[in-house]
């Protein structure tokens, strides 16, 4: 049975870019692969970048990320959902992988170059990040990894590490393949400045758990097609982020109505945005209600995460046993 692994950064409240780009896909893959789909909140990765790491909020953000994923429909009974630091085998395998990975290859990683350029003192953990990521995936012999295209280099390195290990110690790991969800790259920020992303601040994002009136305030002032200077000017919904959002949130009839209305100046931008808000409300209200239910029952969330760690360890431990034996560690 193929096995899927995906790491989720504990960045607190996810936005609709995360939802349409990754989380919804997790739910679908979970239906298909069941317990062989593993979703891991990667808190060990989160501490590698001192610029983004806040120890006061890490536990809370990890918890919130679990709540958000459960709220969008990821069922911890059906999939394996856990927190990276609860499965210490990730670190053990990562260490072995660092011994197989040339420093030069790690230094060539684009993400490392970008992040380290912003730091005065670069922690070794930031350099080792891709070895830990390779361990995350290969610890479960996962062969399918849903990622954004910015992770291509890391997946290539994971394949390389798998090949090196297999060559040095005998056939052990599959070479995993990346599965891209290209929608993630096309969701524009609500401030009109490129792709939606947390690093650009909350003015660019629409949180899936954000209060609806706050979302409306952002949509109300969001830029539209600059060709529509006056209400009577026709526009092009393909050149407007509100047009893009309609494709995510509105039904086909509404999309046809507002697209035609925009092109003929039959609808004003505020009315078009109100139509969009109806779709946003219909989409996010049940998710937000479920999130409130989970927050009101933190023991359920904690128990689900603890159970996920037990399930993940049950998969990881025999593979780690195999690795230890092949590497030649003394077994007592």
Closest by CA position to 80, among listed 172, 6, 182: 6
Closest by CA position to 219, among listed 277, 267, 271: 277
Q: Which region, judged by CB under 6 A, interacts with ligand SF4, from 115-123, 268-276, 288-296, 313-321?
A: 268-276
Query: Which residue, 45 or 273, is less far from ligand SF4 as judged by CB?
Result: 273
Residue 115 designated active-site:
yes
Query: Which residue, 154 or 273, is less far from ligand SF4 as judged by CB?
Result: 273
Residue 275 designated active-site:
no
258 forms part of the interface with ligand SF4 (CB under 6 A)? yes
Q: How far is CA 232 from CA 115, 223, 225, in A?
A: 47, 17, 13
Query: Which residue, 45 or 275, is less far from ligand SF4 as judged by CB?
Result: 275
**Dihedral of CA 295/201/27/137: which sign?**
negative
Query: Which residue, 117 or 229, is less far from ligand SF4 as judged by CB?
Result: 229
SS3 56: coil
Residue 247 designated active-site:
no
SS3 87: coil
DSSP 144-202: EEEE-GGGHHHHHHHHHHHHHHHHHH-S-----EEEE-THHHH-B-TTSSSB--GGG-T
Q: How many residues bind ligand SF4 (CB under 6 A)?
A: 14
Choice from 128, 235, 280, 305 touching ligand SF4 (CB under 6 A): 235
188 forms part of the interface with ligand SF4 (CB under 6 A)? no
Considering the candidates 198, 218, 273, 275, report the single residue annotated as catalytic.
198
311 forms part of the interface with ligand SF4 (CB under 6 A)? no
219 forms part of the interface with ligand SF4 (CB under 6 A)? no
Helix, strand, coil % in the chain, rounded to nearest 5: 60, 10, 35
Considering the candidates 78, 195, 274, 326, report the single residue annotated as catalytic.
195
Kindly state the smallest distance separating residue 251's Cβ from ligand SF4, in Å.
16
Query: Which residues are the active-site residues?
Result: 115, 195, 198
Binding residues vs ligand SF4 (CB under 6 A): 224-225, 228, 235, 237, 240, 242-243, 258, 262, 267, 269, 272-273
């Amino acid at each position: 049975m193929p096995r899927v692994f995906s790491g989720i950064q504990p960045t607190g409240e996810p936005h609709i870019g995360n939802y349409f780009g990754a989380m919804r896909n997790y739910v679908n893959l979970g239906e298909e692969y069941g317990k062989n789909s593993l979703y891991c909140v990667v808190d060990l990765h989160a501490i590698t970048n001192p610029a983004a790491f806040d120890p006061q909020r890490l536990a809370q953000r990890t918890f919130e990320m679990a709540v958000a994923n459960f709220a969008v429909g990821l069922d911890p009974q059906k999939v394996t959902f856990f927190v990276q630091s609860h499965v210490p085998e990730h670190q053990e395998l990562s260490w072995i992988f660092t011994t197989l990975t040339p420093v030069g290859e790690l230094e060539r990683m684009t993400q490392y170059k970008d992040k380290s350029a912003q730091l005065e003192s670069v922690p070794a953990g930031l350099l080792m990040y891709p070895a830990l990521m390779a361990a995350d995936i290969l610890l479960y012999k996962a062969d399918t990894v849903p990622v954004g295209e910015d992770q291509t280099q890391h997946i290539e390195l994971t394949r390389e590490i798998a090949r090196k290990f297999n060559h040095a110690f005998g056939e052990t790991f599959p070479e995993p393949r990346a599965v891209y969800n290209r929608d993630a790259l096309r969701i524009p920020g609500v401030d009109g400045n490129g792709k939606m992303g947390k690093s650009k601040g909350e003015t660019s994002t629409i949180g899936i758990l954000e209060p609806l009136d706050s979302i409306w305030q952002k949509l109300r002032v969001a830029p539209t097609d600059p060709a529509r200077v006056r209400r009577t000017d026709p526009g092009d919904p393909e050149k407007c982020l509100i047009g893009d959002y309609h494709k995510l949130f509105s039904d086909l009839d509404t999309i046809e109505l507002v697209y035609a209305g925009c092109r003929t100046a039959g609808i004003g931008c505020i009315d078009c945005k109100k139509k969009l808000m109806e779709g946003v409300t219909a989409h996010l209200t049940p998710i937000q209600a479920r999130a409130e239910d989970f927050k009101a029952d933190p023991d359920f969330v904690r128990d689900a995460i603890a159970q996920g760690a037990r399930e993940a360890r049950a998969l990881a431990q025999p593979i780690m046993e195999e690795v230890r034996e092949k590497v030649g560690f003394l077994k007592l």
